[in-house]
Amino acid sequence: MFGLSPDDWTAVELTIRISIVATLCALPFGIALGWLLARRNFWGKSVLDGLVHLPLVMPPVVTGYLLLISFGRRAPIGAFLYDHFGIVFSFRWTGAALACGIMGFPLMVRPIRLALETIDRKLEQAASTLGANRALVFLTITLPLALPGIIAGIVLCFARALGEFGATITFVSNIPGETQTISAAIYTLTQIPGSDAAAGRLVLISIALAFAALFASEWLSRRAAIRFHGD
Protein backbone atom coordinates (compact mmCIF):
# COMPACT_ATOMS: atom_id res chain seq x y z
CA MET A 1 0.00 0.00 0.00
CA PHE A 2 1.23 3.53 -0.91
CA GLY A 3 4.31 1.77 -2.31
CA LEU A 4 5.74 1.27 1.16
CA SER A 5 7.99 -1.69 1.84
CA PRO A 6 7.31 -4.04 4.78
CA ASP A 7 10.24 -2.39 6.59
CA ASP A 8 8.62 1.02 6.14
CA TRP A 9 5.36 -0.29 7.56
CA THR A 10 7.24 -1.74 10.50
CA ALA A 11 8.70 1.70 11.17
CA VAL A 12 5.24 3.29 10.97
CA GLU A 13 3.69 0.69 13.27
CA LEU A 14 6.61 0.99 15.69
CA THR A 15 6.42 4.77 15.76
CA ILE A 16 2.71 4.71 16.60
CA ARG A 17 3.19 2.02 19.24
CA ILE A 18 6.12 3.87 20.86
CA SER A 19 4.22 7.17 20.85
CA ILE A 20 1.07 5.68 22.38
CA VAL A 21 2.97 3.79 25.09
CA ALA A 22 5.16 6.83 25.85
CA THR A 23 2.10 9.11 26.17
CA LEU A 24 0.04 6.70 28.28
CA CYS A 25 2.93 6.00 30.66
CA ALA A 26 3.75 9.70 30.98
CA LEU A 27 0.13 10.67 31.68
CA PRO A 28 -0.17 9.71 35.38
CA PHE A 29 3.17 11.37 36.10
CA GLY A 30 2.14 14.39 34.04
CA ILE A 31 -1.09 14.81 36.03
CA ALA A 32 0.71 14.29 39.36
CA LEU A 33 3.42 16.79 38.53
CA GLY A 34 1.01 19.30 37.03
CA TRP A 35 -1.01 19.11 40.22
CA LEU A 36 2.09 19.43 42.42
CA LEU A 37 3.31 22.48 40.52
CA ALA A 38 -0.14 24.10 40.35
CA ARG A 39 -1.32 23.47 43.90
CA ARG A 40 1.56 22.94 46.28
CA ASN A 41 4.32 25.14 47.57
CA PHE A 42 7.39 23.30 48.74
CA TRP A 43 11.10 23.69 49.03
CA GLY A 44 12.83 23.13 45.70
CA LYS A 45 9.70 23.72 43.61
CA SER A 46 11.55 25.89 41.09
CA VAL A 47 14.27 23.25 40.80
CA LEU A 48 11.65 20.60 40.07
CA ASP A 49 10.00 22.93 37.57
CA GLY A 50 13.38 23.41 35.89
CA LEU A 51 14.08 19.67 35.80
CA VAL A 52 10.72 18.98 34.15
CA HIS A 53 11.46 21.56 31.48
CA LEU A 54 15.05 20.46 30.91
CA PRO A 55 14.31 18.07 28.01
CA LEU A 56 12.64 20.96 26.23
CA VAL A 57 15.70 23.20 26.27
CA MET A 58 18.56 20.69 26.29
CA PRO A 59 19.85 19.25 23.01
CA PRO A 60 17.94 15.96 22.54
CA VAL A 61 21.25 14.16 22.05
CA VAL A 62 22.24 15.19 25.57
CA THR A 63 18.98 13.80 26.94
CA GLY A 64 19.65 10.57 25.04
CA TYR A 65 23.17 10.39 26.37
CA LEU A 66 21.99 10.95 29.96
CA LEU A 67 19.45 8.15 29.47
CA LEU A 68 22.20 5.90 28.13
CA ILE A 69 24.46 6.41 31.13
CA SER A 70 21.61 5.93 33.62
CA PHE A 71 19.26 3.39 31.97
CA GLY A 72 21.80 1.31 30.00
CA ARG A 73 22.12 -2.39 30.91
CA ARG A 74 25.23 -1.76 33.05
CA ALA A 75 24.21 1.73 34.19
CA PRO A 76 22.95 2.15 37.78
CA ILE A 77 19.18 2.47 37.19
CA GLY A 78 19.20 0.16 34.18
CA ALA A 79 21.05 -2.61 36.05
CA PHE A 80 18.70 -2.28 39.03
CA LEU A 81 15.60 -2.52 36.84
CA TYR A 82 17.00 -5.54 35.00
CA ASP A 83 18.09 -7.39 38.16
CA HIS A 84 14.85 -6.83 40.06
CA PHE A 85 12.14 -6.60 37.44
CA GLY A 86 13.74 -7.94 34.28
CA ILE A 87 13.01 -4.65 32.52
CA VAL A 88 15.44 -3.71 29.74
CA PHE A 89 15.43 -0.32 28.04
CA SER A 90 18.68 -0.18 26.11
CA PHE A 91 18.36 -0.99 22.39
CA ARG A 92 14.73 -1.98 22.80
CA TRP A 93 11.55 -0.25 21.65
CA THR A 94 10.67 0.24 25.31
CA GLY A 95 13.77 2.43 25.57
CA ALA A 96 12.54 4.45 22.61
CA ALA A 97 9.22 4.88 24.44
CA LEU A 98 11.09 6.04 27.56
CA ALA A 99 13.07 8.59 25.55
CA CYS A 100 9.93 9.84 23.77
CA GLY A 101 8.01 10.03 27.05
CA ILE A 102 10.72 12.13 28.66
CA MET A 103 11.04 14.40 25.64
CA GLY A 104 7.26 14.91 25.53
CA PHE A 105 6.86 15.27 29.29
CA PRO A 106 7.38 19.06 29.62
CA LEU A 107 4.87 19.62 26.82
CA MET A 108 2.39 17.43 28.67
CA VAL A 109 2.86 18.94 32.13
CA ARG A 110 2.46 22.55 31.07
CA PRO A 111 -1.16 22.57 29.81
CA ILE A 112 -2.23 20.26 32.64
CA ARG A 113 -0.70 22.62 35.17
CA LEU A 114 -2.33 25.66 33.56
CA ALA A 115 -5.72 23.92 33.50
CA LEU A 116 -5.42 23.01 37.18
CA GLU A 117 -4.42 26.57 38.04
CA THR A 118 -7.53 28.02 36.40
CA ILE A 119 -9.99 25.71 38.17
CA ASP A 120 -12.18 27.59 40.63
CA ARG A 121 -11.18 26.15 44.00
CA LYS A 122 -14.57 27.17 45.35
CA LEU A 123 -16.15 24.38 43.33
CA GLU A 124 -13.91 21.88 45.14
CA GLN A 125 -14.97 23.41 48.47
CA ALA A 126 -18.60 23.04 47.45
CA ALA A 127 -17.98 19.38 46.61
CA SER A 128 -16.42 18.79 50.01
CA THR A 129 -19.44 20.26 51.81
CA LEU A 130 -21.54 17.83 49.75
CA GLY A 131 -19.74 14.88 51.30
CA ALA A 132 -16.90 14.18 48.86
CA ASN A 133 -13.52 13.38 50.42
CA ARG A 134 -10.34 14.69 48.82
CA ALA A 135 -9.86 11.75 46.47
CA LEU A 136 -13.48 11.96 45.28
CA VAL A 137 -13.24 15.74 44.84
CA PHE A 138 -10.19 15.18 42.66
CA LEU A 139 -11.81 12.43 40.58
CA THR A 140 -15.26 13.97 40.16
CA ILE A 141 -14.52 17.70 40.04
CA THR A 142 -10.85 18.55 39.53
CA LEU A 143 -9.98 16.01 36.82
CA PRO A 144 -13.08 16.54 34.66
CA LEU A 145 -12.68 20.32 34.88
CA ALA A 146 -9.01 19.99 33.86
CA LEU A 147 -9.91 17.70 30.96
CA PRO A 148 -9.28 20.22 28.15
CA GLY A 149 -5.77 20.81 29.50
CA ILE A 150 -5.19 17.09 29.91
CA ILE A 151 -6.26 16.48 26.31
CA ALA A 152 -3.93 19.23 25.11
CA GLY A 153 -1.09 17.69 27.11
CA ILE A 154 -1.76 14.24 25.68
CA VAL A 155 -1.79 15.52 22.11
CA LEU A 156 1.38 17.61 22.50
CA CYS A 157 3.24 14.74 24.13
CA PHE A 158 2.04 12.31 21.46
CA ALA A 159 3.05 14.66 18.65
CA ARG A 160 6.45 15.20 20.21
CA ALA A 161 6.90 11.43 20.53
CA LEU A 162 5.98 10.91 16.85
CA GLY A 163 8.77 13.21 15.77
CA GLU A 164 11.40 12.35 18.37
CA PHE A 165 14.79 11.61 16.85
CA GLY A 166 17.87 12.81 18.72
CA ALA A 167 17.31 11.31 22.16
CA THR A 168 15.95 8.06 20.75
CA ILE A 169 18.77 7.40 18.30
CA THR A 170 21.38 8.25 20.95
CA PHE A 171 19.82 6.04 23.60
CA VAL A 172 18.55 3.00 21.67
CA SER A 173 20.24 3.44 18.28
CA ASN A 174 18.55 2.78 14.94
CA ILE A 175 17.66 -0.92 14.75
CA PRO A 176 15.09 -1.81 12.06
CA GLY A 177 12.12 -3.58 13.59
CA GLU A 178 13.09 -2.71 17.16
CA THR A 179 13.95 0.98 17.53
CA GLN A 180 13.81 2.38 14.00
CA THR A 181 10.98 4.91 14.02
CA ILE A 182 9.77 6.87 10.98
CA SER A 183 12.22 9.69 11.68
CA ALA A 184 15.15 7.30 12.02
CA ALA A 185 14.07 5.42 8.88
CA ILE A 186 13.91 8.67 6.89
CA TYR A 187 17.35 9.60 8.17
CA THR A 188 18.71 6.20 7.12
CA LEU A 189 17.15 6.52 3.67
CA THR A 190 18.75 9.92 3.14
CA GLN A 191 22.13 8.23 3.60
CA ILE A 192 21.43 5.74 0.81
CA PRO A 193 21.68 7.09 -2.76
CA GLY A 194 18.50 6.70 -4.82
CA SER A 195 16.13 6.38 -1.88
CA ASP A 196 14.44 9.74 -2.27
CA ALA A 197 11.12 8.23 -3.30
CA ALA A 198 11.04 5.91 -0.28
CA ALA A 199 12.00 8.78 2.03
CA GLY A 200 9.32 10.95 0.42
CA ARG A 201 6.64 8.33 1.12
CA LEU A 202 7.61 8.17 4.78
CA VAL A 203 7.62 11.97 4.93
CA LEU A 204 4.02 11.97 3.63
CA ILE A 205 3.04 9.34 6.19
CA SER A 206 4.50 11.40 9.03
CA ILE A 207 2.69 14.53 7.82
CA ALA A 208 -0.55 12.54 7.70
CA LEU A 209 0.03 11.26 11.23
CA ALA A 210 0.67 14.77 12.52
CA PHE A 211 -2.55 16.00 10.91
CA ALA A 212 -4.50 13.08 12.32
CA ALA A 213 -3.23 13.90 15.81
CA LEU A 214 -4.20 17.56 15.38
CA PHE A 215 -7.69 16.72 14.13
CA ALA A 216 -8.18 14.24 16.94
CA SER A 217 -7.24 16.89 19.47
CA GLU A 218 -9.59 19.43 17.88
CA TRP A 219 -12.41 16.92 17.96
CA LEU A 220 -11.72 15.90 21.55
CA SER A 221 -11.51 19.44 22.86
CA ARG A 222 -14.72 20.37 21.06
CA ARG A 223 -16.41 17.41 22.73
CA ALA A 224 -15.02 18.51 26.08
CA ALA A 225 -16.35 22.03 25.48
CA ILE A 226 -19.79 20.61 24.68
CA ARG A 227 -19.73 18.61 27.91
CA PHE A 228 -18.97 21.79 29.81
CA HIS A 229 -21.31 24.28 28.29
CA GLY A 230 -24.16 22.19 26.97
CA ASP A 231 -23.83 23.05 23.27
Partner 1 sequence: MLAVDAEKQLGAFVLSVKFRATRGATALFGASGSGKTSVINMIAGLLTPDRGAISLDETILFDAGKCINVPPHQRRIGYVFQEGRLFPHLSVRQNLDYGRRMSGVPRDGDEFARIASLLDIDRLLERRPGHLSGGERQRVAVGRALLMRPKLLLLDEPLASLDAGHKREILPYLVRLRDDAGIPIVYVSHSPAEVRRIATTVVRLDRGQVVATGGIELLKDAEADVFA
Closer Cβ to partner 1, 3 or 131, answer by number: 131
Closer Cβ to partner 1, 4 or 145, answer by number: 145
Closer Cβ to partner 1, 28 or 131, answer by number: 131
Find the shortest distance in angstroms from Cβ 137 to partner 1. 8
Interface contacts to partner 1, rule CB under 8 A: 120, 122-123, 125-133, 136, 140-141, 144-145, 147, 227-230
Exposure on the CB side of residue 64, measured as CA atoms within 13 A: 18
CA distances to 12, 13, 89, 161, 164 from 176, in Å: 11, 12, 16, 18, 16
- DSSP one-letter string for 5-71: -HHHHHHHHHHHHHHHHHHHHHHHHHHHHHHHHHH---TTHHHHHHHHHHHHHS-HHHHHHHHHHHH
Q: d(Cα 99, Cα 65) in Å, to the nearest integer? A: 10
Find the shortest distance in angstroms from Cβ 31 to partner 1. 17
Closer Cβ to partner 1, 45 or 222, answer by number: 222
Q: What one-character DSSP code corresponds to residue 180?
A: -
Closer Cβ to partner 1, 131 or 194, answer by number: 131
